Amino acid sequence: MWTQVSQSLHESMARVISRIATLLPGILALILAVLFFAAIAWLVAWLVRAFLKAIRIDDRLARGTNAIAEWSPQYTPTILITRVVFWCIVLVGFLVGLEAFGASSDNVLTARLLGYLPNIVGAVVLLLLGNVIARFLSRSVLIGAVNMNLHYARLLSLGVKWLVLVLTAAMVLDHLAIGAAIVDLAFGILFGGIVLAMALAVGLGSRNLVTRSLEREAARPASEGVAEEQFRHF
């Protein structure tokens, strides 16, 4: 009996080792493809950077309040474009490597994973964009609300941030085809909940404020209007 068990174990080990051995050329091809395309990406990025510097794109786009600089103030357009070009080429290399890897294996799981990869890439891009937009809008709302002297400025800012993040999360999950109807339903409930909570919080919070403001307006003597006009900033 032990002989049969030992034989069975040996056979399964041989099968696994032979499977790994058949995958090795594919893995090697993947690594080679990534390295090769990374080298090409580096070269192309260098050329793109040189070209952008030659046409002085940073100076051209720095005029006034250009959109790129407003949304990503710490990176110049040259750096952003160069990085996008670099990572796009590396991604292409990765896809080529994966294709080579898939061709060298007849595994169904590998084929499905390869087909799913574009969804993952799209989801990552959505997540990054959503984060940038959430941060930008949240800060815009915060500064605007403070300048309007709204005491619930932080609440508004947080509300906008979470609205965008929840929307992003729902889009990401939808893109990854996870959850399907449950995500849609949960998103609807969560999004509506946040909006309702904000409306209630702002409405209830400003009830006294509005009352006081109306009372002050009614009781305000004629000379007070002049006092407010006393400061002329320009």
Partner 1 sequence: MAKVELSEETKAGIEEIKEADLLIAVAVPVDAERLRTAVTNAVLAMEQPASSALRTVVVFPGVGGSEAKTNPDTGDTGDQLRIMPYTPPAGDPSRIPWLPPPSTYQALFAMAREFGARACAVIGADLAALESDSLGPLIAPVVEKRCDLAMPLYAMGKFDGLLNSSILAPLTRALYGKRVRFPLAPDFCLSGNVIPQLEIALQRSTAQGQTLFWPATEAAVRDSAICQVHVEARHLQSTDGVDLSTVLAQTVGPLFAEMMTNASIWQRVRGSQAVATSGVAAMPPADGAPADTTPMVETFQLGFRNLQEVWSLVLPPVTLLELKRMARPGSDRFHMPDEVWVRIVYDFALAYRLRTISRAHLLGALTPLYLGWVASYALEVANASAADTEQRLEKLARAYEEGKPYLLSRWRWPDRFNP
Residues 37-76 that bind partner 1 (CB under 8 A): 62-65, 69-71, 73-74
* Exposure b/e, 161-196, CB count within 10 A at least 16 = b: bbbbbbbbbbbbbbbeeeeeeebeeebeebeeebee
Residues 101-130 that bind partner 1 (CB under 8 A): none
- Going from the C-alpha of 128 to that of each of 16, 51, 121, 124, the distances in angstroms are 39, 27, 11, 6
- Considering the complex, state which of residue 21 and residue 73 has its C-beta at the smaller distance from partner 1: 73
CB of 202 to partner 1, least distance (A): 15
* Residue 139 interacts with partner 1 (CB under 8 A): yes or no: yes
- Considering the complex, state which of residue 4 and residue 208 has its C-beta at the smaller distance from partner 1: 208
- Token pair in block for residue 184: 């849609």
- Token pair in block for residue 31: 């690594």
Helix, strand counts (H, E) of the chain: 9, 0
* Residue 208 interacts with partner 1 (CB under 8 A): yes or no: no
* Residue 191 interacts with partner 1 (CB under 8 A): yes or no: no
CA separation for the pair 169, 162 (Å, rounded)? 10
With residue 81 as reference, give the H or E element that holds it: helix 77-103
* Residue 219 interacts with partner 1 (CB under 8 A): yes or no: no
- Considering the complex, state which of residue 134 and residue 170 has its C-beta at the smaller distance from partner 1: 134
- Considering the complex, state which of residue 81 and residue 142 has its C-beta at the smaller distance from partner 1: 142
Q: Give the footprint of partner 1 on this chain (CB under 8 A).
A: 62-65, 69-71, 73-74, 136, 139-140, 142-147, 149, 151, 153-154, 157, 223, 226-234
